[in-house]
Structure 1
Amino acid sequence: MVTIADCRRVQTGWFLLQARALGGEVWTDGPLTWIDGPDGQNLMFPREMTTAAVVRGVERARDRGRPIVGAWLDPAVDPAPLAEAGFERGWAPWWMTADLSRPIGRPAPGVELQEDTADYRETDPTYRELLALTRLRPARAWYAAAYTRSRRFAGRAWSFLDGDLAGIFDMEVWEPFRRRGFGTGLLHAVCEAARAAGARHAVLNATPEGERLYSACGFTRVGDDITWWLHLSD
């Protein structure tokens, strides 16, 4: 049975992989684990905190020029030190899981796995750097892109192998291309890649909008957490 603790472990593992493979930093400060990578600087699921320790992490983010600092939290943990350091309560990860013993989603024309891309050249040039994760060996991460018949870039998704769990991340279909089967096609592609590498279950955190798609593809909700955010540029 997949638990919320498993979901937290996979989320943390995904941030760790990005930081370690792409030149980020990981450090601990007592019970706090901070990860600074392509997704910014994040505090990952502390069991307890002090305001002083949180402030030290914020100062490190400020020194590194990070505009936003995130904190991922079990709702049972006292968030007062975050509030005292200026963080504001954010969105709630809705953890969902699915059994990979049967296919998730369905194949879709125009969805393909890639190890490099030129799709972000104009809109987000640094995103291409993330695809270095797909070239690690043994393979631990997979990226899928969706295209229309005219090769318009329609969406993307990632999966990441952590033990026998596959984390699904950064899945999105751009607004003009929704309800054409790309979402289920992307989900199928990255889940199948992870399943072939040994994953037995998939986990993800859903938004209210995404939950409808994931539920239709066999995912069930196992619990919620909460995020907190500090905008240093404000």
Structure 2
Amino acid sequence: MLAGSHGVAIAPPEPRAIDIGLDWLGTTISTDVLIWSAASNAVADLHLLARGCRDGFRPRWMWRTLDSPLPAPRIDADVSIALATVRDRDALLLARDVPYVSPNQVPGILKIATGPEPPRRTWMVIARQRRRFGDGPVVGVGIIHLTSDSGETIGGLYNLGVDPAWQGKGIGTALTIAICRIARDHGASRVALNATPSGERVYRQLDFAVAGDGQTWYLPGSVLRDRPPREAIDAAEAIAHGDIARLDPAVARWERVPNGESPIRFAARFEQREVIQWLLDHHADQDIAPLWSMGFREKVTHAANDDRWLNRQWGPEATTPLHDAVRANDQDLVERLIAAGADLTLRDAQWHGRPLEWANALGHSDLAKLIQEAM
């Protein structure tokens, strides 16, 4: 596992190793932390969530050998593809709409990618709009870094992103081709990367193959600087393990565990039905969506008729039970919540969307129709 912009390796993902790694990151200037695992890791998942981490994205690892020909790029825009130089610094600092371009990281990355010290291992490739007089804004960026493994040189493709206003014009494909050519010309036998769902389509067209799926977690800087107390970590781990004997009844009245979820939702995540029943017996807040998913249907019927729970917004995303039902594509629960009078106008805290907008964004047309008819 790797964590933070300062790159601390945590192995094995045991509690003590994780605590040491997070303690060290707390001494650096790291703000928010992204933690990577090359594959899904249930042990790491439990201990990281108990320490305040939240679910990240699922990287899809892909790779391509460089012994087959690379196609000629076709760009449907007046854009140039070139290696970044120090002269591009100001334009990169202004490229705030290009994914993965961070103004506080641009100077350091440019120094590495343009430095004169041999052997060169890192390059940045940029796409810039052409203008009649001088270069236009940077609309796309990608980075290639070469490493050696048992005598083989491998290229790692990082932080490839295109300004949303310029996507769909072949710029991402052209950047990828240019990066692969650089890697090949400097002795690499293959290029590896992790792809977003939208990026995977582009990479498949360039003959990248799927190698597997990984897992990531996000730790907010506020949690890194003010770590959860040991009592809270121990309680979260006990919930996840189903160790009721270690739980103080006061835990049931907690609004949230370290990762921001309710105790009931955290127990449901680890399929601890007996823990959920224990929490309910000790008067825990009734988080409707996880109760429903774990089969507490009668309890949900009563909770949906209680204004305290019907429209309660839960967790860091501040989702209502209706948001959660839409995300799960659960028509039965959506219908039940609408019949109980769920507020259709509430917005979540992350995407600022109402349940109808969530249904449309997730492609759940049947649910969107139900919600639209109820408005």
Same fold (TM over 0.5): yes
Contact 1:68 1:232 in 2 (8 A): yes
Q: How does 1:102-121 map to 2 (within 5 A)?
A: 102-107=68-73, 110-116=80-86, 117-118=88-89, 119-121=91-93
Q: How does 1:125-164 map to 2 (within 5 A)?
A: 126-134=105-113, 135=115, 136-150=117-131, 151-163=136-148, 164=153
Please say if 1:204 is aligned against 2:168.
no
Give the distance between the partners of 1:165 and 1:147, measured in 2 at CA.
27
Which blocks of at least 5 consecutive residues in structure 2 are unaligned? 97-102, 224-375
Q: How does 1:1-234 map to 2 (within 5 A)?
A: 40-44=5-9, 46=11, 48-73=12-37, 74-76=39-41, 78-79=43-44, 80-107=46-73, 110-116=80-86, 117-118=88-89, 119-122=91-94, 123=96, 124=103, 126-134=105-113, 135=115, 136-150=117-131, 151-163=136-148, 164-233=153-222
Give the distance between the partners of 2:221 and 2:155, measured in 1 at CA.
33
More helix by share: 2
Contact 2:2 2:36 in 1 (8 A): no
Which blocks of at least 5 consecutive residues in structure 1 are unaligned? 1-32
Contact 1:43 1:70 in 2 (8 A): no
Give the distance between the partners of 2:196 and 2:121, measured in 1 at CA.
25
More strand by share: 1
Among all aligned residue pairs of Structure 1 and Structure 2, give the percentage whose two residues are the same amino acid: 25
Give the distance between the partners of 1:168 and 1:189, measured in 2 at CA.
11
Give the distance between the partners of 1:173 and 1:58, measured in 2 at CA.
32
* RMSD, aligned α-carbons: 2.3
| Farther-moved stretch of structure 1 (165-174 vs 55-64) | 55-64
Contact 2:81 2:127 in 1 (8 A): yes
Pick closer, same or farther for the CA change 1:77–1:105 going to 2, 3 Å: farther
SS of residue matched to 1:110: strand
Partner of residue 27, structure 1: none
Deviation at 1:197, TM superposition (A): 0.6
| Farther-moved stretch of structure 1 (104-113 vs 158-167) | 104-113
Deviation at 1:67, TM superposition (A): 2.2
Spell out, residue by residue over 1:150-206, the C-alpha distance to the aligned partner (whole angstroms, 9 max, x if none). 223110111111122111111011011112221111111111111011011111000
Choose between structure 1 and 2 for higher RCO, CA contacts under 8 A separated by at least 6 residues. 1
Give the distance between the partners of 1:218 and 1:34, measured in 2 at CA.
28
